[in-house]
Structures are given as C-alpha cells and as structure tokens.
Structure 1
Amino acid sequence: MSDPSTASMVSTPPATMPTEAGSGAPTDAGLPERVRRQQEPRGLLGDAWLDLRRKPLFWISATIIVVFLVMAAFPQLFTSGDPVNGSLSRSRVEPSADAWFGYDVQGRDVYARTIYGARASIVVAVLSTLGVLLIGGAMGLIAGYRGGWVDGLLSRIADIFFGLPFVLGAIVILTTFNGAGTDNSEWQIMALVTASMVVLMWPVVMRLMRSSVLATKEADYIVAARALGAGTGRIVLKHLLPNCLAPLLVYGTIMVGSFIGAEATLSFLGIGLKTPVVSWGIMISEAQQYIRVSPYLLFFPAAFLVTAVLSFVMLGEAVREALDPKLR
C-alpha cells in the first residue's frame, strides 16, 4: 500500500508548469508580464522603437530637439529679455554676466534674440516638412498605385519642378510676393517662405513614395486582400500606406534640419524672413559685417543653428538604422 503523501505529490502537477485543459502542453500563464510582452509579435514600428531605445544617439538628439521645440513654443521660459528693442548706448557690448551673449549693433540682447530666433526657424522648417510630406506623399501614392497615364502625368509634372534649382526658384517666388514695396506681416512672410519650400521640394518625396508603392503593391498580402474583395480605400489605408511610411519618416526627420538651414540661407540672402521677424538667418546676416571686431554676434546664432540641424540629422540617421533590418 503506497504512502498517501507520496501519491499526492505524484498526482499534483507542478505549480510553475500550468497546462491547458485536456493537454499536457505548457502555457505562458505563469510567466512574468514583462516576459510575455517581449514574446508578443511586433510590427515594423514596434521593432524600430525597441531598437531606438537602446541607441544613445537617439536619446541625445531627441533631448536636444525637445529643448529646441520648447524654446520655440515658450521662449519666455528661457529669457526675460526683449529681442526687438534695444539701446544704442549698449551697441556691440561684449558678453558679460548681465548679457551672456552680449549686445548687437542696435543694442539688443543677443541671447534673447537667439532664443526667440528658434521660433521662426523651427516653425518654418516643421510646416514646410509637413507640407512636403503630405503633398509629395499623396502624389507619389496616387502615381505608384494607379500607374498608367496617371503615373506618367504626375511624373512629368514632378520632372518640371526638379528642373528648377532650389535657390533660384526661391529667389523668383519670394522676390515676386515678398519683394521691395510689399507690406506683409510676420506670419505672412513665414507662410510665403514655407510655401516656396513646399513648391520646390515636394517632387523629392513624391518619387520616394512612388518607388516604395511600386515595390509594395504587388506583395502577397496586397494581392490576397484584393482577391478577398477589399476595396481600394481599404487596401491603401490598411495595407499599402503603413508599409510605405518608413522611408518618409526617415526623410522627413532629416528634412526638418535641411529646411532650418534653407530658411537661414534665404534669410541671409535677404529674400526670406525679414526684420522685425527674429530668426537665426537674419542674425547671421546682420553680423556678417562685424565678424572681425565682434565675432560673438555671428558665433552664438550660428552655433544654435548648427546644433539644431545636426540634431535632426542625427535623429534621422538613428531612425533609418532602426527601420532598416540590414543595419541592425
């Protein structure tokens, strides 16, 4: 006769190895929540986010970008100085404890102007990027999915805009609508600069999106969805668009930094933003005559400009590596 305690031990399954009813296969019910979340299947964006969190380059660039965005939205958190009005008695006074970045030719606080200059530069760059992605992405999606004469027509229109050099095209557009004698407000000027960048740069995103759609629309899951009777809207929104966004996310992130530099270039040439708008490009343009005697007038806005551009470029590089499985 067997020992009851021994029989009880043999007949009771281990607490750490739960089984499904009617089968001896173990389940993951006893696993910690963190382990179960790691075992769940993830999509492309989920894998990319998991990879991004391990990259110091991503956190450094993202932190700097957040600081610039807060600076553009709430400049009064960083300075209480007046970026527009000054006193000629403080003209070109060098940096000191009272004015960290010194004063410009008109006696205005360079630190306050540098902080407030982030607003115009970043707003123009972000709005230009969104416009380019929306217009170019929509045109590329239509051209790649429809094909035929629609693709040919949209591609030829894009080729026409490709033939326009960016600086020359911007000079023509801004001189026509923002030249001498015009009395545009600050936001009107920013809208004109934004529109000129969108008009001249959307073909790049259009071609990028078109090539991505052409490579994706004949995939097995697209063919299966079409065979099951899915409409065009469902195929585009549920299957095609999510799988074609990765290149646009990478290019859009880098494009923000490029547009910050483009806005500064146009303002430096005198055809972009103009006084009384405060931007890094205007500050650099005003400081070019005093580089030898007062180099700090150029150094501080240029340093902020370069830092902002590099931050977006580094973020785009980190996103590109995370979204490309070959680079992981």
Structure 2
Amino acid sequence: MSDVRPGGPVIASEGSPAPLPQKKTKEAKPASLWTDAWHDLRRKPIFIASCCLIAVLVLMAVWPSLFTSIDPADARTCELATARQLPSSGHLFGRDNLGCDLYARTIYGAANSLKIGISTTIAAAIIGGLTGLVAGFFGGRTDTVASRITEIFFAIPSILGALLIGATFRDSGLGIWLVVFALTILGWPMTFRIMRAAVITAKGQDFVIAARALGAGSGRIMFRHLLPNALAPVIVIATINLGGFIAAEAALSYLGVGVQPPEISWGLMIADAQPRFLDAPLPLIFPAVFLSITVLAFIMLGDAVRDALDPKLR
C-alpha cells in the first residue's frame, strides 16, 4: 500500500517496494537519405581510399612546401647541364629537359590542375543546376527553349570547342580562368539534364502538392522542397565530372591553349617532355601517373557516392 497526498509525491508504505525511477528515452531521429548514405559510405573501402588520395592531393595543392623545399619558380634551381638526370637522393624524380627538379614541379603542378577542376565543377553545377531547376519546374516553353539550347552545346565536341575558345582568347590575360570558362561553357549541359530530370520526377510527389495547397510560392517550392530532393544525382555527376575536367585541362595544356608558362600543370609538363620521351621517359611518366591517380580518385569517389545515394544500388 502507498499513501497519496494531494499535490505531493507517492509515498510507499512499509513493506512495499519503492517505485523505480523512470529513465527518459531519447527519441530516435528519423532517418534521411543523407544519413543513410553517410552510414553506407563509411563502410566502403573505395570511399575511404579515394578520400585519402584526394586529401593528399589537396594538401599538395594548398601547401606544396610541406612536400618539397625546392621552389620550381626560382630559375636558379634549374641547371641545364644536369638535364634529364636520373633520380637521386637529392632529386627523387630526377630532372626534366631543362634541368629543373621534376619532383618539385610535379608537386607544384597539382595546384593549377585541382584549382581548374574544382572551379569548373562548381561553375558548371551552379549554371546547369539552376537552369535545370527552372526548366523542370515551369516546363512548357521555358523547358523547350532551355532544352534546345542545351542540345546545341551537346552537339559541340568538348575538347574541340574548348580548343577553339582557348585559341581565340589566348591573349586575353585571363590565365587559368580562360580554361575554367571554356570548360564550363561546354560542361554545364550534362548537369542541366540531370537536374531537369530529377525535378520533373520530384514535382509530382505528394509533398510538392501539399506545399502548393498550403499556398507556397514557386520560389519556396523550388528551393525549399524540390532542390534538396533533386540534389543527390547532381552531386554524383559533379564528383565524377571533376576528374574529367582535370583530364580536359591537361589535354588543353598539352595542345598549347591551357595553362601557359611560367605556370605549372601536369598537362604542360607532359607537353614539354613529349618530344624527348624516347631519350628521357621519366619527365613524362611522373606527371602522367599523378594525373591518372587524381582522375581515378575522383571517379572512385563519384562511384561510391552514387552507390550510396541510389537506394536501388544498395
């Protein structure tokens, strides 16, 4: 038996067990696509390996002096008499055709390659994402005009179009931003198509109809409801395209319309080493290997993110 006092706690009588204190249970947070994706990504070795590689590459680009004490921009570090020297303790990759330290130039070449790749990816994602969002949401003539413009850009070969733009504005003084501009102009249509298809699929869902019934405007529906639900495939394609943009920059630099001396990039290093490849293959092999590893790392990351964000592939 227990005594109950008005306005007071329950008091246990003699011989009866005291009531146990109740523990507060934490309410479980509802699972979302992003939390499930992150949970899956942490278990994927391919995701961990690609992130480690990308982290090292970003560190090389941001802080190259951490990897080498030689500044390749200093002409005094180049000795023509030691051109095409084989690797040694003081020069891990040897020397290039001009007698410059190949290891230092390879490390410093990561900065421009990653800067161009990341800048182009962001610009293409913003332009293609916004135009795809508007075209997919409004449909009708807006969608028709935007789709026809996109088809025109799709008809232009990417490297040929970028080569034409780079050759035309080579003397504009834009430097690496000319490469970013050329690759962005030809790279945004893919993001447009992905975003447009995702928006068209999502705008017929119940949550969009409910938001409309509650009086939400077009801007709120697009950016508050549709964009978060259509963003996953855009992130996947942007991650994969980043590696492609880095490879495209190397191709343009190799053809002479990308990064220009005295700037350093892997594509430019490959172009400089190609004429003497049979005599000295190392000045071409090392930047080519670093370029391949970088592109592969971003493609691996994109594949892992795609598998995690697509429930059908789990």
TM-score, with length taken from structure 1: 0.88
Give the corresponding residue for 2:7. none
Per-residue deviation, residues 180-210 of structure 1 (Å, max 9, x unmatched): xx373xxx22110000001011111111110
In the TM superposition, 1:135-174 aligns within 5 A as: 135-174=127-166
Structure 1 window deviating more from structure 2 (284-293 vs 127-136): it is 284-293
2:59 is the alignment partner of 1:64: no
1:168-183 to 2 correspondences below 5 Å = 168-178=160-170, 182=171
Residues 82 and 108, structure 1, Cα contact 8 Å, conserved in 2: no
1:293-327 deviation line (CA, Å, top 9, x unaligned): 21111111111111111110111111011101112
Query: For 1:139-197, what per-residue CA distance to the aligned partner results, in whole angstroms no more than 9, with x for missing partners?
Result: 1001000111111111111111111111111121111001xxx373xxx2211000000
The residue type paired with residue 207 of structure 1 is R
**What's the CA shift for 1:290?**
2.1
Alignment counterpart, residue 308 of structure 1, candidates 287, 294, 308: 294
- The Cα of 1:283 is off from its aligned counterpart by 0.7
What is the one-letter code of the residue matched to 1:90? Answer: T
Residue 227 of structure 2 corresponds to 241
Name the counterpart of 1:196.
Answer: 182
Structure 1 distance, partners of 2:200, 2:24, is 43
Tell me the matched-pair count: 301
**Structure 2 CA distance, aligned partners of 1:296 and 1:142?**
50
Q: Which runs of 5+ in 1 are unaligned?
A: 19-27, 31-35
Kept after mapping to 2: 8 A contact 1:102/1:111:
yes
The answer for the alignment partner of 1:78 in structure 2 is 67
Query: What's 2:111 paired with?
Result: 119
CA shift at 1:79, angstroms?
0.9
CA contact (8 A) 1:124 1:193 kept: yes
Compute the displacement of 1:63 (Å).
1.1
| Counterparts of residues 1-328 of structure 1 (less than 5 Å) | 7-9=15-17, 12-13=19-20, 18=22, 29=24, 36=26, 39-84=28-73, 85=75, 86-178=78-170, 182=171, 184=173, 188-328=174-314
Question: Structure 1 CA distance, aligned partners of 2:15 and 2:282?
Answer: 87
- Identity within the alignment, %: 48
Deviations 1:239-276 (CA, angstroms, capped at 9, x unpaired): 10000000011011111111111101111111211211
How far did residue 82 of structure 1 move?
2.4
Letter in 2 for 1:194: V
Q: Which runs of 5+ in 2 are unaligned?
A: 2-11
SS in 2 for 1:199: helix
Q: Deviations over 1:89-143 (max 9, x none)?
A: 2111111101000011111110010000000100000000001000000110010
1:280 CA drift (Å): 0.3
Supply the AA of the counterpart residue of 1:140.
G
The CA distance in 2 between the partners of 1:77 and 1:204, in whole Å, is 37
| TM-score for the superposition, normalised by structure 2 | 0.92
Q: Which runs of 4+ in 1 moved over 3 A?
A: 4-7
